[in-house]
């Protein structure tokens, strides 16, 4: 299947094989529906944690679309974690702007507050503005019965991040070969206009260490997907 999706304000053309949809994505959505039905009076919060380059934003947007095609499934809403970056002014004063995207550049306490709010009822969610390169507060109104919070560090195994588990009803993780992620991430920077040298330097400084930290220091998830070298997904 070829489908056009709006992902973080950009038009993306995504491709998913019919057998992958039937054997991976639809069963996964049904499992999330089952989790929700066990306590349908409250919102179900799902964490999707994965290293950079695994296509998690596009994937969760596709799940939103797929859930709308089946009236038996509850609605799903994607909530990216990028809106919880510290503002650039804060990153500058803490000498972290060059490492934006690393776990230290996120406001974990603010994320916990928003997770508590949406777990208890209606709420809002910040969105990362890729033009201003800063968060925009209250940009997303949270309304769906199932929300999928997606980001790199949601299952990070350290004290501050582990505390977020109190708000998670079901967790997902995507693993992938590190070299395949390197090729995808460097290619993404080249497509964005960087030179080969600058794209490689960005990977060495930022993306590469983040890939390694996610793959090596994440807690086990309730369900793990694997992204193959060709970009397909399968349930482990």
Task: Check residue 192 and give its pLDDT.
Answer: 87
Contact 53/124 with Cβ under 8 angstroms? no
* 186-233 pLDDT per residue, tens: 998 999 899 999 999 999 988 999 999 999 999 999 999 999 999 999
State yes or no: pLDDT of 10 exceeds 90. Answer: no
Task: Check residue 28 and give its pLDDT.
Answer: 98
State yes or no: pLDDT of 84 exceeds 90. Answer: yes
Average pLDDT over residues 65-82: 96
State yes or no: pLDDT of 130 exceeds 90. Answer: no
Lowest mean pLDDT among 3-17, 56-70, 85-99, 189-203: 3-17
Q: Quickly state the pLDDT bin for 98 (edges 50, 70, 90).
A: confident
Contact 29/76 with Cβ under 8 angstroms? yes
Rounded to two decimals, the pTM is: 0.94
Q: Quickly state the pLDDT bin for 185 (edges 50, 70, 90).
A: very high
State the Cα–Cα distance between residues 129 and 99, nearest whole angstrom. Answer: 17
Paired residues of 12 in beta bridges? 5
Task: Check residue 214 and give its pLDDT.
Answer: 97
Q: Is residue 235 classed as helix, strand or coil in its secondary structure?
A: strand
Average pLDDT over residues 165-171: 98
C-alpha closest to that of 185 among 48, 50, 88: 50
Q: Measuring CA to CA, how many Å separate 25 from each of 59, 72, 135?
A: 9, 15, 30
* 44-68 pLDDT per residue, tens: 999 999 999 999 999 999 999 999 9
Residues of the chain with pLDDT > 70, as a percent, come to 100
Residues of the chain with pLDDT > 90, as a percent, come to 90
State the Cα–Cα distance between residues 117 and 111, nearest whole angstrom. Answer: 10
C-alpha closest to that of 48 among 32, 70, 33: 32
Residue 184's CB is within 10 A of a number of other CB atoms, namely 18
Contact 96/106 with Cβ under 8 angstroms? no
Please tell me the CATH superfamily of domain 2-80+148-235, with its number: P-loop containing nucleotide triphosphate hydrolases (3.40.50.300)
- Residue 81 has, within 13 A of its CA and on its CB side, a CA count of 29
């Amino acid at each position: 299947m070829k489908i056009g999706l709006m992902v973080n304000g950009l038009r993306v053309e995504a491709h998913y094989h019919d057998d992958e949809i039937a054997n991976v994505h639809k069963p996964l959505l049904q499992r999330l529906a089952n989790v929700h039905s066990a306590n349908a009076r409250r919102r179900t919060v799902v964490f999707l944690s994965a290293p950079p380059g695994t296509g998690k934003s596009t994937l969760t947007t596709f799940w939103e679309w797929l859930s709308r095609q089946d009236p038996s499934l509850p609605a799903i809403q994607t909530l990216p974690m990028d809106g919880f970056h510290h503002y650039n002014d804060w990153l500058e004063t803490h000498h972290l702007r060059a490492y934006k995207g690393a776990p230290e550049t996120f406001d974990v306490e603010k994320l916990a507050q928003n997770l508590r709010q949406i777990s208890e009822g209606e709420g809002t969610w910040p969105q990362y503005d890729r033009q201003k390169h800063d968060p925009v507060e209250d940009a997303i109104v949270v309304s769906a019965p199932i929300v999928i919070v997606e980001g790199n560090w949601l299952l990070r195994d350290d004290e501050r991040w582990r505390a977020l588990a109190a708000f998670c009803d079901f967790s997902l993780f995507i693993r992938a070969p590190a070299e395949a992620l390197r090729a995808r991430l460097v290619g993404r920077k080249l497509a964005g206009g960087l030179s080969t040298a600058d794209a490689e330097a960005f990977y060495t400084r930022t993306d590469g260490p983040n890939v390694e930290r996610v793959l090596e220091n994440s807690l086990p998830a309730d369900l793990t997907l694997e992204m193959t070298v060709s970009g397909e997904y399968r349930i482990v």
